[in-house]
């Protein structure tokens, strides 16, 4: 076809260059501003049920989730792994995004060995807390024991990979820490451990922050260099707390205020700690704001229910009360913020993982 009058046909080299430029720009649109994943050899996890990938399966506690309908939406078909979710948890998504396996194995899971743990390992235990007394409520793994498992892991890793490579894995790994909710909702405000008589709320917040600082100092001494540490969510807005607050209705604002006060103290401590230890990088994950954004504007993630869990009535059920005998469990968990009365759905966990990764690229990598 002839060119219109006055039109100058581009030369073949110019056309090729334009096509290449267009292809590159499209590629950048899909990738966004984020660079290629950094070389992170492993994701190492400490904390509670928000990140426990199955350790409670192996201990004598009633707090378990290795049965249906937990895990019903796992890739490849229903698979209850001990994750308190219909699918994966934030560390799983973080691991996959960094080019590592899509599931971070639980350290106590006999199906995995040190060759798996060399690329990612979870020491977390559902129901635990920064306070050792919290773990005692439901007989789960206390945080100090998680650290002991970390030490044992390092000894096994040295035998498996050699001392030099093991040291690099430990120092270059990304550490994910999520803990603290149970210290208030399962311990202090439940009046079962005596902490409510020993501390004021503010004093208990200070005690927990001091425990968090000691924990971080210890894993830093053991080799951790890049750590994400999650603050508390609006704990008064969990479905279980909404249900217990039925007379007044809505979220328990007193609990949310406690979460905000604790988070402020935690953030100040993390900044102090990082300033005193130049080789330690710690990113504070603002779970409170991330969750509040979704609760106030759920349609940004296509959510329809942010007040109740998908499982059973969604008001009080979790662990054994969330089971496959209930006819009320929702069909599409993707429309819900919460899976059970305490824990987010896989869709929300993926959202939280993205927020964490964005912060990692800004502050840790």
CB atoms within 10 A of CB 195: 21
Taking CA atoms, 303 is separated from 97, 292, 294, 329, in Å, by: 23, 13, 8, 16
Q: For residue 9, what pLDDT is reported?
A: 38
In degrees and rounded to multiples of 5, residue 178 shows phi and psi of: -140, 110
For the residues 198-206, what does the mean pLDDT come to?
A: 98
What percentage of the chain has pLDDT greater than the value 90?
A: 88
Q: How far is CA 111 from CA 55, 79, 107, 192, 220, in A?
A: 12, 14, 10, 36, 29
3-state SS class at 84: coil
Please state, as a whole number, how many other Cβ atoms lie within 10 Å of the Cβ of residue 265: 18
Asked if 101 and 120 count as a contact pair (C-beta separation under 8 A), the reply is: yes
311-355 tens-digit pLDDT = 999 999 999 999 999 899 999 999 999 999 999 999 999 999 999
What pLDDT was estimated at residue 37?
Answer: 66
Cα-based distances in Å from 11 to 8, 15, 16, 22, 197: 9, 6, 9, 17, 83
SS3 107: coil
Catalytic center residues? 49, 340, 343
Q: What is the pLDDT of residues 207-251, one digit of tens each?
A: 999 999 999 999 999 999 999 999 999 999 999 999 999 889 899
pTM above 0.85, yes or no: yes
Give the DSSP per-residue string, 32-57.
TT--SPP----EEEEESTTT-SSGGG
**pLDDT 10s digits, 260-306:** 999 999 999 999 999 999 999 999 999 999 999 999 999 999 999 99
Which residues on adjacent β-strands are paired with residue 305?
336
Using pLDDT thresholds of 50, 70 and 90, give the confidence band for residue 168. Answer: very high
What is the per-residue pLDDT for 54? 98
Task: Provide the sign of the torsion angle of the four alpha carbons 107, 109, 115, 116, taken in this order.
Answer: negative
Domain ranges, ordered by start, for the chain: 38-364
Q: Containing H/E element for 120?
A: strand 120-122
Nearest CA-CA partner of 307 in 316, 331, 52:
316
CATH assignment of 38-364, given 3.40.640.10, 3.40.50.1110, 3.40.50.300, 3.40.50.2000? 3.40.50.1110
Those residues whose C-beta lies under 8 Å from the C-beta of residue 109, and which sit 6 or more positions away, are: 53, 54, 55, 57, 58, 82
Confidence of residue 35 (pLDDT cuts 50, 70, 90): low
Per DSSP bridges, beta strands 43-47 and 174-178 are parallel
Cross-strand bridge partners of residue 282: 227
């Amino acid at each position: 076809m002839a060119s219109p009058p006055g039109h100058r046909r581009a030369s073949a080299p110019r056309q090729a260059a334009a096509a290449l430029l267009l292809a590159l720009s499209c590629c950048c649109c899909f990738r966004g501003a984020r660079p290629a994943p950094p070389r992170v050899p492993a994701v190492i996890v400490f904390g509670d049920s928000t990140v426990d990938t199955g350790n409670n399966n192996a201990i004598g506690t009633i707090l378990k989730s290795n049965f249906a309908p937990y895990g019903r939406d796992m890739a490849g078909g229903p698979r209850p792994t001990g994750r308190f979710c219909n699918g994966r948890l934030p560390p799983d998504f973080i691991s996959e995004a960094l080019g590592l396996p899509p599931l971070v194995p639980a350290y106590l899971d006999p199906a995995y060995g040190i060759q798996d743990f060399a690329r990612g390992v979870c020491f977390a235990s559902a129901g635990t807390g920064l306070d050792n007394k919290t773990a005692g409520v439901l007989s789960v793994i206390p945080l100090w024991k998680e650290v002991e498992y970390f030490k044992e892991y390092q000894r096994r890793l040295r035998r498996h990979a050699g001392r030099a490579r093991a040291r690099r894995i430990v120092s270059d790994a990304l550490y994910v820490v999520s803990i603290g909710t149970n210290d208030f909702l399962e311990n202090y405000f439940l009046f079962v451990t005596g902490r409510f008589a020993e501390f004021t709320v503010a004093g208990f917040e200070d005690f927990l922050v001091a425990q968090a600082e000691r924990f971080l100092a210890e894993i830093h001494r053991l080799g951790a260099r890049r750590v994400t540490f999650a603050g508390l969510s609006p704990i008064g807005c969990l479905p279980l707390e909404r249900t217990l607050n039925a007379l007044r209705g809505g979220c328990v604002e007193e609990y949310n205020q406690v979460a905000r006060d604790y988070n402020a103290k935690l953030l100040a401590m993390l900044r102090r700690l990082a300033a005193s230890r130049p080789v330690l990088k710690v990113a504070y994950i603002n779970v409170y704001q991330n969750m509040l954004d979704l609760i106030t504007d759920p349609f940004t993630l296509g959510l329809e229910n942010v007040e109740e869990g998908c499982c059973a009535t969604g008001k009080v059920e979790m662990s054994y009360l969330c089971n496959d005998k209930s006819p009320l469990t929702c069909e599409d968990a993707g429309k819900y913020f919460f899976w059970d009365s305490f824990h987010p759905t896989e869709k929300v966990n993926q959202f939280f993982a993205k927020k964490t990764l964005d912060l990692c690229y800004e502050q840790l990598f």
